[in-house]
Amino acid sequence: MAISPTGITSTIKPKLLKKVLNQAIEQEAIKKIFPDAVSMDTVEVLNKQGRKTQISTLRDKDNNILYRLFKFNLPYMIKRFYTTGEARIFNQQGTLPYREVKTSVVNLKNKTVVKTREEVFTVTENTDKNKVVTKSLVEKQKTNPDAPYIETTSINQYQNKTPKNYYQTTIQRDKDGYITKKSVTHSNDGLPEDVYNNDYIHTMLWKPQEFKLNLFKDAIQKNGLKDENIQLRCANLGYKRVEPTQFAFYRDSERKLIFNSDYPGCDYKPFFTTITEHELTHARQYRDVRLYEKGLLNGEKAQKAKQYKENFDNYTDFKDNEAAYEQQIVEAEALENGYKAGDTVSYIFHKLLEKFNGKLVDKHLPGFVVK
């Protein structure tokens, strides 16, 4: 008999202790949280290590899973929420059904969530009528109580349960949220290396609000502005389709980047990347002016900071003269950096779409609308 490294025989199977299926739900507490739930399954098993696990599953009238709870004789439990729907592909007419599974691991001792995972599954057919499963995943795991989560984002495609295409990024942050380690793995399928070798690949699966906060933090780090204590704020600056719109601005006196939450496209990831990199270029320019005025710059950096100061002191607004506005070095740099960053995000996104044959479905990606 083969013995595993832990001394447990590999032939031992989990033992079923209890099984109750299709139990009608009468508890008001459950009905209040899961109004579509009509039945519950309860299963208890003894696993290979001799630990008891109780699994409770809520189902709707069509037998779809709504929720699962895993209880162990250990100081943690697992909760899973299931959602189904359809997402429309960007610039295409068809829709694809998806299933979303949100998982959280809870430490029962201090009631904290130590791990979360959001998975979106879709099943499609290729040209040979074979089933292809695409899974998009965002996972966060708390490994250090004094620092944020380790974040993993990945998109994996399977055919006949065999990996076909994939990419995965893992980033680790310090206690202030700045990246300290980053790695990328991907399938060798001929896509340009610059799809993966960039600063934005790990942002592709983030939700809009999470995307804004983390992309801002990453851009602060990339622009060398960690010590400037710049804050990101939203404001209702107004929006009318027929009039010029102020998308965002940087207020150096308060160290704030303020973006217009009224603009309908503010959640579009390439657009938000563009305005963030544009305004943080101004933040860097203002910092260089302060260093120049203190005599802390020399050579080419001092010359450029002098030009920044002259531009800021004699600034031409876009509304007054568009051509003069764009010719100012402070704006020329900001426009170039902003558009380049936004184009990069859009480029990565569409290259990933090509890689996954247009079947990349995740309702948090730019370009998708959930019906």
Higher pLDDT, 312 or 50: 312
Higher pLDDT, 198 or 304: 304
Lowest pLDDT segment from 48-52, 232-236, 296-300: 48-52
Question: So what's the pLDDT on residue 124?
Answer: 80
Question: So what's the pLDDT on residue 89?
Answer: 62
Question: So what's the pLDDT on residue 88?
Answer: 67
Q: Using one digit for the tens of pLDDT, what is the confidence trace for 81-124?
A: 999 887 766 555 667 788 899 999 999 998 999 999 999 888 88
The answer to whether 349 and 211 are in contact (CB under 8 A) is: no
| pLDDT cut 90: percent of the chain above it | 57
- Please state the rounded mean pLDDT for residues 68-72: 95
SS3 271: helix
pLDDT band at 162 (very low <50, low <70, confident <90, very high): confident
Q: Using one digit for the tens of pLDDT, what is the confidence trace for 186-230?
A: 988 778 888 888 889 998 888 888 889 999 999 999 999 999 999
CA 88 to each of CA 94, 124, 293, 345, 369: distance values in angstroms, whole numbers, following the listed order: 6, 14, 53, 20, 6
The answer to whether 312 and 360 are in contact (CB under 8 A) is: no
pLDDT band at 298 (very low <50, low <70, confident <90, very high): very high
pLDDT band at 173 (very low <50, low <70, confident <90, very high): very high
| pLDDT cut 70: percent of the chain above it | 91
Q: Using one digit for the tens of pLDDT, what is the confidence trace for 9-32?
A: 345 677 888 899 999 998 888 989
B/e letters for 33-42, b = 16+ CB within 10 Å, e = fewer, are ebeebbebbe
pLDDT band at 358 (very low <50, low <70, confident <90, very high): low
Quote the CA–CA distance of 74 and 258 in Å, as a whole number.
46
Question: So what's the pLDDT on residue 140?
Answer: 94
pTM of the predicted model, to two decimals?
0.84
Work out whether the CA dihedral 23, 26, 32, 37 comes out positive or negative.
positive
Write out the two tokens for 121.
């599954």
The answer to whether 82 and 65 are in contact (CB under 8 A) is: yes
Q: Using one digit for the tens of pLDDT, what is the confidence trace for 310-350?
A: 999 999 998 899 999 999 999 999 999 999 999 999 899 88
Place of tokens 């949280």: 33
Question: So what's the pLDDT on residue 2?
Answer: 33
Q: Long-range CB contacts (< 8 A, 24+ apart) of 47-50?
A: 47/14, 48/8, 48/12, 48/13, 48/14, 49/6, 49/8
- Please state the rounded mean pLDDT for residues 130-156: 88
* Amino acid residing at 302: A
